[in-house]
């Protein structure tokens, strides 16, 4: 197991101001040091939902991190190869690429694995066909809730079988497969070994993406459509409200409780529930959207009460009314009630 750092309350890094990105990372590190060890520190960082841009890479490098993980699902759109024997670097910052192909075989359950060993056997065969006996790596990354929750059959027993099979495969010379920490692979790369590194670091443009970004999103340059999509009026108004409240709170001095409330209000799920794909599936969950919206309203009232800023309060209430109208309009449309 290897722990990385991240944003404390799961914000989408490319969609929040740089000052808030830095703040979320600091809060998370403080929590890790409190709960785990006062000297906890990682040179790797996980961007929530793997939401990545070159600008985020530059910010993370400025905070002295060395690597993160992005998704390889749309590299071919730009004519880029999926790396296995090198590490791409953007703005001087190393970006590992997770395999969407292999990750989706778990997430979408589009396989016929009955046992953990079935996965390992297929992985070994695939790697031998792809890279032969060359040095290489493949990264599989998913939400923890995939295993045993979203995909019931990938439960504790399956995982035990999988890791037992990986351990067994590691001891078989003809396979030469092993698990590794990403920091181990980084340490074998060109930036850290003067001669004959196993994995070269190569300067390369990496397209903006998340692990949910589709080909259609790329074509529309709508890279983070699940949280802030072009043409999604609910999300536009929701972000307008959040940014107004954020401005009010950060300009209110001496209220630590209010600051903490705002930090927590940056979470991404409130926007995810209003993405157009959820509505199109007739699965709207306005309760989760309203939870985030009315939490922002509560914070706005506290912030404007402190400095008696009636103009900001009225502006926020106007946005909220528009937002509620848009949520209900879309909910009824997709439920077939209009």
Q: What is the pTM of this model?
A: 0.92
Based on the fold, state whether residues 251 and 298 are members of the same structural domain. Answer: yes
Based on the fold, state whether residues 323 and 207 are members of the same structural domain. Answer: no
| Nearest by Cα to 67 from 24, 96, 47 | 96
Residue 1 lies in a domain: no
What are the beta bridge partners of residue 189? 199
Residue 221 lies in a domain: no
Based on the fold, state whether residues 147 and 276 are members of the same structural domain. Answer: no
Query: How do 93-98 and 86-90 pair as beta strands?
Result: antiparallel
**pLDDT, tens digit, for every residue of 95-122?**
999 999 999 999 998 888 999 999 999 9
Supply the range of the domain harboring residue 295: 226-334
- Confidence band of 333 (pLDDT split at 50, 70, 90): low
Based on the fold, state whether residues 202 and 310 are members of the same structural domain. Answer: no
Percentage of residues in the chain having pLDDT higher than 90? 76
Euclidean distance between the first and the last CA atom of the chain, given in angstroms as a whole number = 51
pLDDT (0 to 100) of residue 338: 45
Q: Residue 337 has which token pair?
A: 């009630």
Cα–Cα distance for residue pair 52/48, rounded to 1 Å:
9
Based on the fold, state whether residues 46 and 176 are members of the same structural domain. Answer: yes
């Amino acid at each position: 197991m290897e722990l990385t750092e991240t944003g404390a309350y799961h914000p989408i890094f490319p969609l929040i101001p740089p000052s808030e990105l830095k703040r979320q990372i600091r809060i998370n590190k403080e929590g890790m040091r409190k709960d785990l060890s006062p000297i906890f520190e990682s040179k790797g960082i996980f961007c929530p939902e793997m939401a990545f841009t070159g600008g985020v890479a530059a910010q993370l490098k400025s905070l002295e991190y060395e690597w993160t993980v992005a998704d390889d699902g749309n590299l071919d759109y730009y004519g880029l190869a999926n790396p296995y024997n090198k590490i791409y670097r953007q703005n001087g910052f190393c970006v590992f690429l997770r395999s969407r192909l292999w990750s989706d075989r778990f997430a979408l359950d589009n396989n016929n694995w009955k046992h953990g060993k079935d996965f390992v056997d297929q992985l070994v065969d695939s790697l031998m066909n792809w890279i032969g006996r060359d040095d290489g790596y493949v990264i599989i990354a998913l939400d923890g809730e995939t295993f045993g929750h979203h995909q019931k059959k990938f439960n504790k027993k399956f995982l035990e079988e999988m890791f037992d099979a990986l351990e067994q495969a590691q001891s078989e010379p003809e396979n030469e497969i092993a698990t590794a920490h990403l920091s181990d692979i980084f340490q074998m790369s060109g930036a850290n070994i003067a001669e004959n590194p196993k994995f070269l670091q190569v300067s390369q443009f990496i397209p903006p993406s998340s692990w949910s970004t589709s080909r259609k999103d790329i074509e529309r340059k709508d890279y983070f459509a699940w949280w802030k999509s072009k043409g999604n009026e609910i999300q536009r108004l929701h972000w307008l409200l959040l940014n107004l409240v954020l401005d009010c709170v950060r300009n209110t001095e001496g209220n630590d409780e209010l600051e903490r409330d705002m930090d927590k209000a940056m979470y991404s799920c409130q926007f995810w529930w209003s993405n157009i794909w959820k509505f199109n599936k007739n699965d709207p969950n306005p309760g989760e959207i309203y939870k985030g919206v009315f939490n922002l309203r509560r914070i706005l009232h506290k912030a404007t009460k402190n400095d008696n800023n009636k103009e900001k309060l009225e502006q926020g209430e106007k946005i909220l009314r528009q937002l509620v109208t848009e949520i209900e309009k879309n909910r009824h449309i997709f439920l077939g009630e209009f």
